[in-house]
Amino acid sequence: MLRGMRQIGQSLVGKIIGTILFCLLIGSFAVWGIGDIFRAAPPSMVARVGKTDITREEFRIAYNNELQRLGRQFRTVITPEQARMFGIDQRVANSLVTQAVMTEEAKKLGLSISDQLVARSILEEPAFRGSDGQFNRALFDQMLRNAGLSEAGFVQEQRSTITRAQLADAIVGDLNVPAAARDAIHRYGSERRAASYFVLEPAQIGEIPAPTAEQLQTFYNERKASFRAPEYRALSVLSLNAASVADPSKVSDADARQRYEQQKANFGSPEKRTIQQISFPSQEEAEAAFKRIKEGATFDAVAQERNVPAQDLELGTFTKQQMLDPVVAEAAFALQEGATSGPVAGRFGPVLVRATKVESEAVRPFEEVAGQLRAEIANERARSELEAAHDTIEDLRASARPLADIAKEKGLTVLQIPAVDSNGLDKDSKPVEIPSKDALLKAAFASDIGVDNEALRAQDGGYLWFDVTDIEPSREKSLDEVKDAVASLWKQDETAQRLSDKARQLTERLEKGEAIEAVAKDAGATVKTAADLARNGAKDDLTAEVVNRIFAVPVSKAGNAANGVSNRVVFKVTSAAVPPLAADSQEAKTITDQLRTAMSDDLIAQYVAQIRQDLGVTINQTAMRQAIGGEL
């Protein structure tokens, strides 16, 4: 058959038929998915804005720079979990897209920046200036290397940045801030009010009788969700850290004593000496000078003969560990106070040293801190053993060994947690002591009974393994189980309602023109006054919520508001004052600048949103996760 097909294929008709069949075959692959072979390659672009692509590498650099900036700002390390929780990846992506939108629009408008302007912006950048205030080429190169940028790439980015800035300036222009808006901001921040008020307390509404069974049942039925028992989980937790691996008994006495000598300053005041030193160009001259001292010449006289300035003669006061040259330190700390050493072959040449003052040490003895030092050394050594111990436990876990058996074999302890909810509370609503609580609870409540869970990295640098041993589902508690809690909450609600009703009645009396003193007397309360009230600020026994309510009521009018959990305040606004705002004052300038910035940001945001819509923006979430090492 193959021979026959080959013979047909050699004829003209056969070639035409073969060509048609081959084209159909190619078309069928195209229809049925051969293109997926090529599309399966990992995407290299995080986003596409019009014709501009944002690569994974660009996104990764911007993301890492933002993490470092936030880390410096908050003086901590931002973990990948925290970064995802705060949406840093999405924020960085949005920022890069905005930059790309502005760049595309600048190209469309034909905007360009001269080489001279780009060069001047780099030369004037404070970050690239040395101690003399001038541009420092070495510092510039170093910062580019640290940021992983080439000079050409940085110059291009600087050109784009300046172009975008000029486009933004053109969009915003010289915005005119309305005087009414400026005055409104001034009034909001500087207005001060005064009010007369009195406080209603639960005692002033009389005794509230206990609820009837029907009232309790109705109250419970309306709030069943508030009385649900949360889901509880029982956990077995195995913790491995440096302290659990460390063995202080294996730390030798010599190693502990060496650490003691290095850290004497931590255990009190080590011996200090005030040292003088004369340097010599040769060993022979040093020996000759020392011979003169032994014959009766003073150390100071030898220094004067050699024209040694007083400031060069004095080294300072040091502990032995603080001295730069160990050889000189040994010689200086072997001297009696006021004595001079023989020639010492120091690191920088021969010297004579004199100890002009000796301050004796006052430190805790080695025997008193030996246990602490051995524990520290053992913990440091154990850190290097953690990974090996982790791998061993992982191998045992892979063989389906229970955590209890693994712990017994390795001399570790398994923490048994009989019941804990997702907030870390037990059935009595008391906090449960759990290592790396947030991470462990999140993983435990995402797992199930019998699941072989991955080890978690603990906050102390160690590892945590856990098993979910039991799950108690969330359920509705019966009224009998929560009767006391329901009664207590019913009483709180009833008290608040009666206080609100009474306060409303008293407020109506004030609105009708009755004096606040008379109304307060009938309520069994005392009238107080509050002056110089400012928005969003508590004053005397008034909460910020009450103060804000006073600002919401016109002058000479009355009102009331809850004052904390169990009280209510009835008040009458007595005055309001706003200091005048001079148009040329610093305050007016500050408010105007703040409003102009806010208005500019809003205008640019609207502009960018419209251009994004016109250009079309595509975000590749998979590539974004790949760029920052996230799961696919």
CATH assignment of 271-360, among 3.10.50.40, 3.40.50.1380, 3.40.50.300, 3.30.1360.120: 3.10.50.40
Query: For residue 19, what pLDDT is reported?
Result: 43
Report pLDDT digits (tens) over 279-299: 888 899 999 999 988 888 988
Mean pLDDT of 538-565: 94
Higher pLDDT, residue 582 or 21:
582
Q: What is the CATH T-level fold of the domain 232-246+378-473, as seen in this structure?
A: Chitinase A; domain 3 (3.10.50)
Pick the CATH number of 45-173+612-627 from 3.30.1330.20, 3.10.129.10, 1.10.260.40, 1.10.4030.10: 1.10.4030.10
Q: What is the mean pLDDT of residues 539-564?
A: 94
pLDDT at 413: 86
Where in the chain are the domains?
2-39, 45-173+612-627, 192-226+483-577, 232-246+378-473, 271-360
Residue-wise pLDDT for 488-510, tens only, equals: 999 999 999 999 999 999 999 99
Are 385 and 462 in contact by the 8 Å Cβ rule? The answer is no
The pLDDT tens digits of the residues spanning 335-361 come to 999 899 999 988 778 999 999 999 887
Q: Any bridge partners for residue 319, and if so which? A: 272
- At 43 the pLDDT is 56
Long-range CB contacts for residues 155-158, cutoff 8 Å, separation at least 24: 155/118, 155/122, 158/118, 158/121, 158/122
264, pLDDT greater than 90 = no
Predicted confidence (pLDDT) per residue in 24-75, tens digit: 443 433 333 333 333 333 457 888 888 888 888 888 888 888 888 887 777 7
pLDDT of 269 higher than 50: yes
- At residue 575, the pLDDT reads 96
- 3-class SS at 73? helix
Whole-number pLDDT of residue 558 = 96
As a whole number of angstroms, the distance between CA 361 and CA 436 comes to 42
pLDDT greater at residue 7 or residue 406: 406
How do residues 556-594 score in pLDDT, each as one tens digit? 999 999 998 889 999 999 999 999 999 889 999 999 989
Residue 536 pLDDT grade (very low, low, confident, very high; cuts 50, 70, 90)? very high
Q: What is the DSSP string of 75-117?
A: TS---HHHHHHTTHHHHHHHHHHHHHHHHHHHHHHT----HHH
Q: Do domains 232-246+378-473 and 271-360 have the same CATH topology?
A: yes
